[in-house]
Amino acid sequence: MERFILFTVNGFAFGAIYASVALALVIIWRATRVLNFAQGAQAVASAYVAWSVTDATGSFWLGVLAALVSGLVIGALVQLTVFRKAESMPHLNAVIVGVGLLILIQAVLGMAYSVETTRTIDAAFSSSKWQVAGTPLVSPQDVFVLGSVLLVMAGIGYLMAKTPVGLRMRAAAFAPDTARLMGVKVSRMLTLGWAVAGLAGAVAAILVVPTSAELTPQVMDGVFVLGFTAAVVGGLDSLVGAVVGGLGVGLVLSYTSGYLSSDLLYPAALVLLIVILLVKPEGLFSAAQARRV
């Protein structure tokens, strides 16, 4: 039982991290029908910004702020420079552009930050678990991670559903021509969507890097794949799906690592993905029909 609690809490904590990556992917997918393979690498770039600022100023929270701002800026820049053109191309072209950008960003980070230095980003709060009746339960950092992700989800959901900007963004995404006729600056709205996704990615990076021994250009690779899995499991169109997908993936993987073997982490993600997609080919939170074979 003690173990079950640990695995469950751990599953939620890591699931929230996958969810944060999934959220960023879903935002962009909703806005521009592009799957951004560079999302993880962009987030790492934000993490390096955070590290640099914290290293220079000594302030953790200034670093976090810088990461969030840089997430917005990088997201917008990426859309303006490469994805604006790729958006109008077939899905595959945008996928390849994303892969290219991923490779490019990692290589540039590798050149800019020498491997001689070990870089780490602290957890925002203590990771020591509160004990309840002698059983380690949750840590402040666990709460922070889960809270941040729910906040991002709720914030973006509110932005999209309840604000004029959100309305314009949705209009630009779903009916660009009509939106343009109504005076919506469609391209600006799309850029904004990418910027918001960049922000969500930066949040993910701030949550991920402390769970890893150090900050490297590749630090998000595994998390990105699992976040991607979460987004697909949840259905790419749904913010709630991203979070549910993330938590679900987190739990399944934590139980797999705990009860079977940590070797089976990625195979388990694959099995989960296949099973869900065979039942619901467009993810849990989509209404689309299954294609029949």
Using CB under 8 A, pick the residue from 23, 28, 153, 231 that binds another protein: 231
For residue 44, which of 52, 32, 56 has the smallest C-alpha distance? 52
Q: Which is nearer to another protein, 102 or 184 (CB)?
A: 102
Mark the segment that binds another protein (CB under 8 A) among 43-51, 187-195, 198-206, 212-220. Answer: 212-220
String of DSSP letters for 143-183 = HHHHHHHHHHHHHHHHHHHHSHHHHHHHHHHH-HHHHHHTT
DSSP character at residue 117: S
Determine if 222 is a binding residue for another protein (CB under 8 A): yes
Q: Which is nearer to another protein, 101 or 195 (CB)?
A: 101
CB 181, min distance to another protein, A: 28
DSSP character at residue 244: H
- Distance, in Å, from the CA atom of 81 to the CA atom of 90, rounded to the nearest integer, reads 18
3 state SS of 292 = coil
Find the binding residues for another protein in span 17-46 (CB under 8 A).
29, 35
Find the binding residues for another protein in span 131-170 (CB under 8 A).
131, 136, 139
- Distance, in Å, from the CA atom of 249 to the CA atom of 236, rounded to the nearest integer, reads 15
Determine if 103 is a binding residue for another protein (CB under 8 A): yes
Phi, psi for 134 (deg, rounded to 5): 80, 0
Find the binding residues for another protein in span 42-81 (CB under 8 A).
none
CB 96, min distance to another protein, A: 5
- Distance, in Å, from the CA atom of 75 to the CA atom of 42, rounded to the nearest integer, reads 8
Q: Which is nearer to another protein, 46 or 139 (CB)?
A: 139
Find the binding residues for another protein in span 80-99 (CB under 8 A).
82, 85-86, 89, 91-93, 95-97, 99
Determine if 278 is a binding residue for another protein (CB under 8 A): yes
CB 226, min distance to another protein, A: 9
Determine if 7 is a binding residue for another protein (CB under 8 A): yes
Please report, as a single letter, which amino acid is at residue 91: H
**Maximum alpha-carbon separation in the chain:** 64
3 state SS of 213 = coil
Q: Which is nearer to another protein, 17 or 179 (CB)?
A: 17
Is 171 within 8 Å of 178 (Cβ atoms)? yes
